[in-house]
A and B are shown apart, each in its own frame.
Chain A
Amino acid sequence: MSTSKRVIIEPVTRVEGHGRVSILLDENNNVTQARLHIVEFRGFERFIQGRAYWEVPVLVQRLCGICPVSHHLGAAKAMDKIVGADKLTPTAEKMRRLMHYGQMFQSHALHFFHLCSPDLLFGFDADPMIRNVIGVARKYPDLAVQGVMMRKYGQEIIKATAGKKIHGTGAIPGGINKNLSIEERDVFLKDINQMMEWSRGALKIAKDYTVANLEKLKPFGSFDSNHLSLIRSDGAMDLYHGNLRAITSDGKKIFDQVDYSKYLDYIVEEVKSWSYMKFPFIKSIGPEKGWYRVGPLARVNTCDFIDTPEAEAARKEFMAVTNGKPNNITMAYHWARMIEILHSIEKINELLHDKDLQGTDLVVKGQKRYEGVGLIEAPRGTLFHHYKINENDQITMANLIVSTTNNNEPMNFAVRKVAQDHLSGVPKITEGLLNHIEVAIRAYDPCLSCATHAMGKMPLKVTLYDYQGNEIDSKTKD
């Protein structure tokens, strides 16, 4: 018979889905279990069945208002396989890369300045009424303006490459439907140095904060884990394309340079009775220990090097903190994210100086196939798109593993660790506990909109249960 109590944290509004945390206590008020429940809506895979394959790169953007570009490109990459386009033209690939780096840049800027910087600048325990973007705007107006303008710069790149912000059509099966005009290029070149400078500044804030608070951050919501990401054939970080690499918490390779179209031979999605969200794990290790982290922390850990000079120098500094071994500190996600923002703007700069962007050879086609897999490193981590079609070009099967689903088990671990460290012995949800859970989840920059396939806000509700399953406390953060 269970001798545990249970505590919960829950939210709901128009759309982004629920972030609900339940915590179970034993008779001595020690935490025995803590779970993050995300109500995943799996209707999209069914919704898309019967649609023509060429519609998919546009349709999938309806999954999420936060990272539509990642879905657009993930689906387009899968459809490249369907139309037999194994190698895109230089213009098509570089335009897609520009779109992707623009997405990475704006998404990381939004997360850092809007969601994470209040925690870093005011401290985890600061009043939530101050610890928000308006608080940053009031006390650090220059920083807040930088965040807004960086986000806007990335969004404008998306608009120039995808056609528009909502339902972009840039990437099509086998290529792209437009190039970048000289006029468009020059608009971006005008501000590139400013964007580079601000990116360096944001990286410095994240690095200095992490280094200065290392001892406090080391145990915070942290744990050893495997890491997974795409990797280029020479081991470089590649956010747009590559093969799969997975490593253990101390850096041993579990698999390397795996063709991602064979992902089902390596990754399994486990279903758990208490969650609508699936729990992916590495098949060869099993569900118990085979789960892994994705996203900026995983990518910086898995790669051998970064092929842009400033981001590579930053990566070396990052790795030095853990003597070259993978970094398993949850809060180090923020530092890794800012290394990627610098890498993204360096890549954008490189691409803007590449004449291939003005090329006119935009699409290739080959022998038609009936199945296609497309993977991409979305801002929050590895994103899987897998489709099958019939002879009438209609989708018959779709399987998506979104970044936040890949990070499902790690987020649960982070919540459990924080609950154990900050709640044990006290059968009450304090403001401090709520703040700490919030900070730990936020490090992963979860896109619940994406994971739940809905859009809008993501409030947080924590509920505490006693050992008999009775709710004894509950607190919500809108």
Chain B
Amino acid sequence: MAKKILLIGFGNPANGDDALGPAIAEIFEQKNIPGLTVDCDYQLTVEDSSNAAENDIVIFADASLNCNEPFNFEPVKAKESGSFSSHSVEPCEVMALAEKLFNSKAKGFILAVRGYDFEQLKEGISEKAKSNLEKAAGFLEKLLKNENFENIKVISCS
């Protein structure tokens, strides 16, 4: 039976390469992969924990300023942290809330796609980041087809 997988692409499409997360979501929304639910938002919030708990695997797709090129794929562990007044939460906090509030057993992963230009109110992904996006999407598609999420530590592809 296919695993239930949630893919959340997040970021602000108006901030240049910060659009990489939503772009991943857009790509996979059109693929209709069995068992895969795709969500997209500007940022992660507490209710993502409830959605996470309804799945076996949760993949957070985000742009990164400093990960290896072209992308990183690694597990995300539930981790608690306090924040002053942010309305958003981090992937580790989503996983922590999912565990604590909804007894989630879901495994979390981050697909971090390397971006370069995060200028505010700049539309469009840079050419270099587009190439990274293509490679990351290709990697993720293979992974989703194989459903082999065991023993993943850090995957940094070139």
A114 partner residues in chain B, CB cutoff 8 A: 46, 87
Selecting from B69-77, B93-101, B105-113, the interface stretch reads B93-101
CB neighbours of B47 from chain A (8 A): 148-149, 151-152, 155
Interface residues of A in 1-54 (CB under 8 A from B): 11, 14-16, 19, 41, 43-44, 47
User: Shortest 5 CB-CB distances between A and B: which pairs?
Assistant: A65-B42, A62-B14, A132-B82, A152-B47, A134-B80
In the complex, A14 Cα to B13 Cα: how many Å?
A: 14
How many chain-B residues does the 8 Å CB contact rule pick out?
Answer: 35
- Whether, in the assembled complex, A57 has its beta carbon less than 8 Å from a beta carbon of chain B, the answer is no
Contact call A137/B97, Cβ cutoff below 8 A? yes
Is B120 part of the binding interface, using a Cβ–Cβ cutoff of 8 Å?
A: yes
Which residues of B, 1-39, contact A by the 8 Å Cβ criterion? 12-15, 22, 39
With contact pairs A151-B47, A152-B50, A155-B47 given, residues A62 and B12 touching in the complex (Cβ less than 8 Å): yes
**Interchain nearest-CB distance for B66 vs A (Å):** 11
The verdict on A110 contacting B87 (CB below 8 Å), with A151-B47, A166-B42 known, is: yes
Q: Which of A317-364 contact B (CB under 8 A)?
A: none
In the complex, which residues 291-311 of chain A have their Cβ closer than 8 Å to any Cβ of chain B? none
CB-based nearest B residue for A65: B42
Q: Does A68 contact B (CB under 8 A)?
A: yes
> How far is it, in angstroms, between the C-alpha of A147 and the C-alpha of B102 when the chains are bound?
13
Q: Is the interface of B mostly helix, strand, loop or mixed?
A: loop
> Known contacts A15-B15, A455-B15: does B121 contact A137 (CB below 8 Å)?
no
How far is B89's CA from A132's CA once the two chains are assembled, in angstroms?
12
A453 within 8 A of partner (CB): yes
CA distance A451 to B116 in the complex (A): 25
From the candidates B22, B83, B121, name the one contacting A47 in the complex (CB within 8 A): B121
Q: Which of A195-203, A258-266, A388-396, A456-464 contacts B (4 or more CB under 8 A)?
A: A456-464
**How near does chain B come to A453, taking the closest CB pair, in angstroms?**
7
* Interface pair A458/B14, CB less than 8 Å apart: no
- Nearest B residue to A66 via CB reads B87
Pick the contact of B101 from A47, A144, A167 — CB < 8 Å? A144
Given contacts A62-B14, A115-B85, A134-B80, contact A147 B41 (CB under 8 A): no
